[in-house]
């Protein structure tokens, strides 16, 4: 095997040195590009990975009668949530909360050990329960006020208004039909957390406020609606009927002034009533036209000249 000359060795060393220098220059240029040109983009990306939003519900729009009597409003109610990464002892925490929330320790522990940033534990808490939970001061357990739907007149116009669910979404009636407008846009509290999900002390904390829903004014008249429901209930009971419908309309405009269905339900506690009670049979059921069809017959007779407006 031929020996390399001193010149050839120097050439090879020079090539290796040059290759190493090129690699170092490329690496330095890349580092400079990342640190000087794209540093803001990577900072934002790293921050976004640490930010964990907690949703803040918007208040649903108020539903009024034609005289601006409130028929459906939003009120604040406490809700309890957990940040699983901050719960130090899920078993002990579950046992402490279980008797206050009427849940089993097993149910609560399952929620407290989920691989989620935030878990809702219970909503629509009464004042005493919320106060008791707050007094426990459990790590990883928090309370927040959330808007909940409330119907100040109970069963009044229940079939017209419909119901809203625990997540503030419309489920039936006008609450469902106009949900897109009533529900608003939710906001959020954005908190900076570490890789384990724990809140970083003095970290970034931002609040994006919710946008409340649009209000809705009906043609329903509160006074007429109340009288219609009262008289309908009386008539159904007196005749021994199973159910009944009462609709009052302004014949000049076609506006519905009252729409009552019996039996009814209380939308504040709709789950306590039979599902059948929530059917708005004034709208979903079919009925023969009866005397209302006389208008069509009379119009046809006038159009054909068979009769005149003065015909006796």
Place of tokens 């724990």: 198
| Cα–Cα dist 79/35, whole Å | 44
Helix axes 105-112, 90-101, angle to 10 degrees: 130
Give Cα 37 distance to the centre of its chain. Answer: 41
Place of tokens 């625990």: 166
Place of tokens 């794209």: 38
| Cα–Cα dist 111/93, whole Å | 11
Q: Which two tokens stand for residue 63?
A: 């539903």
| Cα–Cα dist 76/57, whole Å | 10
Q: Which two tokens stand for residue 208?
A: 């994006």
Q: Which two tokens stand for residue 167?
A: 């997540």
**Residue 248 is inside which H or E element, if any?**
strand 244-249
Question: Side-chain half-sphere of 104: how many Cα atoms within 13 Å?
Answer: 3
Number of Cβ atoms within 10 Å of the Cβ of 30: 10
| Cα–Cα dist 210/185, whole Å | 6
Catalytic annotation present for 241: no
User: In 179-293, which residue ranges form alpha helices assigned H by DSSP?
Assistant: 179-182, 222-239, 281-284
Q: Pick the catalytic residue: 241, 271, 291, 299?
A: 291
| Cα–Cα dist 145/167, whole Å | 13
Q: Which two tokens stand for residue 98?
A: 């279980």
> Which are the catalytic amino acids?
291
């Amino acid at each position: 095997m031929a020996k390399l000359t001193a010149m050839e060795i120097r050439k090879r060393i020079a090539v290796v040195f040059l290759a190493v220098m090129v690699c170092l220059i490329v690496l330095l240029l890349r580092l400079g590009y990342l640190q000087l040109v794209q540093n803001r983009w990577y900072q934002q990306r790293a921050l976004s990975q640490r930010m964990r939003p907690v949703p803040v519900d918007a208040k649903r729009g108020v539903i009024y009668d034609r005289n601006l009597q409130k028929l459906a409003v939003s009120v604040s109610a406490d809700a309890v949530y957990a940040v699983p990464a901050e719960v130090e002892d899920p078993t002990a925490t579950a046992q402490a909360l279980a008797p206050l929330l009427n849940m089993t320790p097993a149910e609560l522990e399952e929620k407290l050990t989920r691989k989620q940033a935030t878990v809702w534990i219970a909503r629509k808490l009464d004042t005493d329960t919320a106060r008791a939970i707050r007094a426990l001061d459990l790590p990883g357990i928090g309370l927040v006020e959330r808007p909940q739907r409330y119907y100040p007149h109970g069963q009044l116009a229940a079939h017209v208004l419909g119901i809203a669910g625990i997540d503030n979404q419309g489920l039936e009636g006008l609450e469902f039909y106009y949900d897109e407008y009533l529900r608003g846009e939710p906001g959020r509290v954005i908190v900076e957390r570490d890789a384990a999900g724990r809140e970083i002390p003095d970290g970034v904390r931002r609040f994006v406020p919710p946008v409340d829903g649009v209000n809705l004014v009906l043609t329903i008249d509160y006074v007429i609606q109340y009288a219609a429901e009262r008289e309908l209930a009386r008539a159904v009971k007196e005749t021994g009927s199973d159910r009944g419908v009462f609709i009052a309309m302004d014949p000049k405009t076609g506006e519905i002034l009252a729409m009552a269905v019996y039996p009814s339900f209380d939308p504040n506690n709709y789950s306590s009533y039979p599902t059948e009670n929530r059917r708005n049979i004034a709208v979903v059921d079919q009925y023969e036209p009866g005397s209302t069809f006389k208008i069509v017959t009379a119009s046809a007779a006038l159009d054909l000249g068979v009769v005149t407006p003065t015909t006796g």
